[in-house]
Amino acid sequence: MRLGVLDVGSNTVHLLVVDAHRGAAPLPAYSHKIELRLAEHLDPRGLIEPAGADGLVEFVAEAAELAEDKGCESVYAFATSAIREAPNGEEVLERVRAETGVRLVVLTGTDEARLTFLAVRRWFGWSSGRLAVFDIGGGSLEIAAGSDESPTVAVSVPLGAGRLTRESFSTSQPDKDEIKALRKRIRIEMAAVAGDVLRAGRPQRSVATSKTFRSLARVCGAAPSADGPYVPRTLARADLIEWLPKLIEMTAEERADLPGVSPGRSHQLIAGALVADAVMDLFDIPELEVCPWALREGVILARLDQL
């Protein structure tokens, strides 16, 4: 069957169409996305501004038509932290439903962590043993660990690369004091949940997903996406530590010229790198394996299981 997944994230709104049936890997058939940066369309009270809501409605309507054109039997549409945390999120959801006919389901942070873990488990298989999975999004960091398809522990921490950049840096080239303050904030918030994750047992495989981790891995020498999803990719902490001072010294334009870094996300790369460094340091992980499957694939797999 052909299914569609519409992912409304803090940075990107993405329609993914896949050919899938239970027991088989979903095969991407079509992809369409824009960098709406919904989390940047917030007023001082945290409300989603009209421009952000307008852009979301426009894209969702376009995505619904595209999904129909591509022959999707159904489309599962969901939203994450940008909608979840906005005081007027319900109003925006109702406007989307009224004007497009699409009902967006708001995932909790725990849902995100659990579904991403499912995708990683299916990708690497049972031989991976106990997994620890880390996903840096625009608004939050999801962490999950366990030995089964459902994680033993699944947590969400407000340490997304976009959120930290907006809240901590005054320019695209932060000064030393801003870097120091953000580094301290990241480690304090992450340490508050590290104990729960570590008590689940030491992982036999530590895995990273998300665009931020993929970009950092590419900058540090991992194979390009053009080589396909089956090429092993890793992010070593030693390489990240070597690159971090260089990233801090670069302008956003210079970071955008690095392999694997898009212009729309280059301003978030420093915050993302600080989170990635803290993950590997606090959880004593010298190297993370990069998984091409993440939340969207987890949503598809869970949907197939229900069907």
Q: pLDDT-based confidence at 97, cuts 50/70/90?
A: very high
Q: How confident is the model at residue 12 (pLDDT cuts 50, 70, 90)?
A: very high
pLDDT in tens, 151-176: 999 999 999 999 999 999 999 899 99
- pLDDT per residue over 179-204, tens digit each? 999 999 999 999 999 999 998 889 99
The model's pTM is 0.95
The ranges of the chain annotated as CATH 3.30.420.150 are 126-295
Read out DSSP for the chain? -EEEEEEE-SS-EEEEEEE--TTSPPEEEEEEEE---GGGSB-TTSPBPHHHHHHHHHHHHHHHHHHHHTT-SEEEEEE-HHHHH-TTHHHHHHHHHHHH---PEEPPHHHHHHHHHHHHHHHH-GGG-SEEEEEE-SS-EEEEEESSSS-SEEEEES--HHHHHHHH-SSSS--HHHHHHHHHHHHHHHHHHHHHHHTT---SEEEEESHHHHHHHHHTTPPPGGG-TTS--EEEHHHHHHHHHHHHHS-HHHHHTSTT--TTTGGGHHHHHHHHHHHHHHTT-SEEEEPS--HHHHHHHHHHHH-
Whole-number pLDDT of residue 22: 80
The segment(s) of the chain belonging to CATH 3.30.420.40 are: 2-106
Multiple choice CATH, 2-106, 3.30.420.40, 3.40.50.970, 1.10.3720.10, 2.60.40.1220:
3.30.420.40
Class of domain 126-295: alpha beta
pLDDT digits (tens, 9 = 90+) for 209-254: 999 999 999 999 999 999 999 999 999 999 999 999 999 999 999 9
Q: Provide the percentage of residues in the chain whose pLDDT is more than 70.
A: 100
129: confidence class by pLDDT, cuts 50, 70, 90: very high
